[in-house]
Amino acid sequence: MTAAPKRHAYEVAVREHALLGEGPTWDPAGERLIWVDILGSRVHTYAPGDGRRTVMATEQHVGAAKPRAGGGLVVNLRDGIGLYGPGGSSFTWLVRDPVPGRRGNDAAVSPDGALWAGTLRYDEAPGGGGLTRVAPDGTVTEQSGPLGDVAVSNGTGWSPDGRLMYYADSPTRRVDVLDFDGRHARNRRPFAVIEDCAGDPDGLTVDADGCVWIALWNGGAVRRYTPDGRLDRVIALPVPRPTACAFGGPGLRDLYITTARAGQERPHPLAGSVLVVPDAGQGLPGTLFAG
């Protein structure tokens, strides 16, 4: 039986009109949240301690931005993976692989410091997307074998012990789980199936209890599933298109949720903003990209 949505106290962390807000990531060194507006070609930061914000323009649509161990950001762009120096002081391509009609989408850093970068076609054609492991030295390993055809590569995350990888290809309406050995993901199988009319699985995060939190595009909610795949919590939101979620703030207790306003004739006033649910749970410390 599916749990009925329950209201939880959310707040507005960043009031913004992002077209496609995505990829919230907590940066422990800067005590700030990093997130992107994919279609606006912007990387945003927000420090909840003092409210300070920054915005950096990118020359291409940017699917994700993650902090690097040496400072700066690794970004999943339209034409590949790029590296920004601290403060956006410099830019270099780590992997440049332009494919007409394709762009980078959600990405995540695995426990060993590699970037798992997703792609999709702008028309979201089946088989047009993919997921690659990008090592710190730029070595690329395609994941088409264990994953099969991918359309819209989205949420990726790992269990607290690093032995499982969770993954969402949105049109499948599933969150899947794979065995993970530190470098390879194998044995893909369903973890949670999203029922009809409940939205499509988008970005996800895993908490310290091994529960998987998933944002539901067109579902107006974030759900938490226990490690055995049972739905045990629903955070209903005022906006129909939450895109991703991540823990941040003091002690990694606050759940930040990015949202989108693209494709809506009359978007909700908060569509495109970053919402936060204070003291929602206990997040896991993220891994910095080692490149």
- The 10s digit of each residue's pLDDT in 166-216 is 999 999 999 999 999 988 999 999 999 999 999 999 999 999 999 999 999
Average pLDDT, the chain: 95
Of 18, 7, 26, which Cα lies nearest the Cα of 274?
Answer: 18
Cα dihedral sign, 277-281-285-286: negative
Would the pLDDT of 49 be above 80? yes
Q: Which of 169, 200, 202, 254 is catalytic?
A: 202
Would the pLDDT of 146 be above 80? no
DSSP letter (8 states) at residue 89: -
CA distances from 250 to 26, 65, 167 (A): 11, 21, 27
CA distance 277 to 273: 13
Q: What percent of the chain has pLDDT over 70?
A: 97
- The 10s digit of each residue's pLDDT in 51-62 is 999 999 999 999
Token duo for residue 89: 């002081």
- The 10s digit of each residue's pLDDT in 229-276 is 999 999 999 999 999 999 999 999 999 999 999 999 999 999 999 999
CA distance 20 to 32: 20
Q: What is the pLDDT of residue 148?
A: 82
128 neighbors 120 (Cβ within 8 angstroms): yes
Q: What is the pLDDT of residue 280?
A: 97
Would the pLDDT of 290 be above 60? yes
Collect all residues with Cβ–Cβ distance below 8 Å to 168 and sequence separation of at least 6: 154, 155, 156, 174, 175, 176, 201, 202, 203, 204, 214
Tell me whether strands 174-180 and 153-158 are parallel, antiparallel or unpaired.
unpaired
- Cα-based angle 5, 194, 215 (whole degrees, multiple of 5): 65
The mean pLDDT value for 110-137 works out to 96
Active-site residue 202, yes or no?
A: yes
* DSSP-based three-state secondary structure for 182: coil
Matching residue, tokens 């492991």: 133
Of 166, 121, 162, 125, which Cα lies nearest the Cα of 147?
Answer: 166
Would the pLDDT of 144 be above 80? no
More confident site: 114 or 142: 114
pTM over 0.75: yes
Q: What is the pLDDT of residue 8?
A: 59
- The 10s digit of each residue's pLDDT in 14-26 is 999 999 999 999 9
Collect all residues with Cβ–Cβ distance below 8 Å to 273 and sequence separation of at least 6: 12, 13, 14, 15, 16, 17, 18, 21, 239, 259
The mean pLDDT value for 79-89 works out to 94
